[in-house]
Amino acid sequence: MPAVRLFPPDRFFDRAQWSAITRPSSWRGIWLVAHAWIVSVALVGLAAWLQNPLAWLVAVIFVGGRQLGLAILMHEGAHGALHPSRRLNNFLGQWLAGAAVGSDLIAYRTYHLQHHKYTQQPEDPDLALSKPFPTTRASLWRKVVRDLSGQTFVKQRMAQFGFALVGLKAMLRGEAVQKVGASTRAGTPFNKQSDDGMTSPTIDVAGAMAVTRAVGRFLLVQAVLLGASLALYGWTPYLLWLAGLATTFQLYLRIRNIAEHACTTTGSDDPFTHARTTHAGWLARATVAPYWVNYHAEHHLFMGVPCYRLPQVHAALGRAGKHDSMTIAPSYAAVLRQVTAAG
Which of 42, 36, 157 is closest to 92 using CA atoms?
36
Domain that holds residue 109: 15-148+233-339
Alpha carbon distance, N-terminus to C-terminus of the chain: 35
Quick check: is 156 in a domain?
no
Within a domain: residue 174? no
Per-residue pLDDT tens over the stretch 104-156: 999 899 888 888 888 888 888 888 888 889 999 999 999 999 999 999 999 99
At residue 86 the predicted structure's pLDDT band, cuts being 50, 70 and 90, is: very high
Q: How many CA atoms are closer than 13 Å to the CA of 317, on its beta-carbon side?
A: 24
Query: Is residue 163 domain-resident?
Result: no
Least Cα distance to 300 among 3, 2, 1 occurs for 3
Q: Could you tell me if residue 67 is inside a domain?
A: yes
pTM above 0.85, yes or no: yes
192 in any annotated domain: no
Flag whether 132 is in a domain.
Answer: yes
Judge whether 212 lies within some domain: no
Segment 193-208, tens digit of pLDDT = 433 333 443 457 888 8
What distance in Å separates the CA atoms of residue 280 and residue 330, rounded to the nearest whole number? 8
- For the chain, the domain total comes to 1
**Are residues 207 and 163 in contact, defined by beta-carbon separation less than 8 angstroms?**
yes
Q: What digits encode the pLDDT tens for the residues 286-298? A: 999 999 999 999 9
The chain-wide mean pLDDT, for the chain, equals 89
Q: Is pLDDT at 189 greater than 90 in this prediction? A: no
With beta carbons less than 8 A apart as the criterion, state whether 316 and 12 touch: yes
* Residue 7 domain flag: no
Q: Buried b / exposed e across 257-292, counting CB within 10 Å, b at 16+?
A: bbbbbbbbebeeeebbbbbbbbebeeebbbbbbbbb
Exposed, middle or buried: residue 17 (CB in 10 Å: 0-12, 13-18, 19+)? middle
pLDDT score of 6: 73
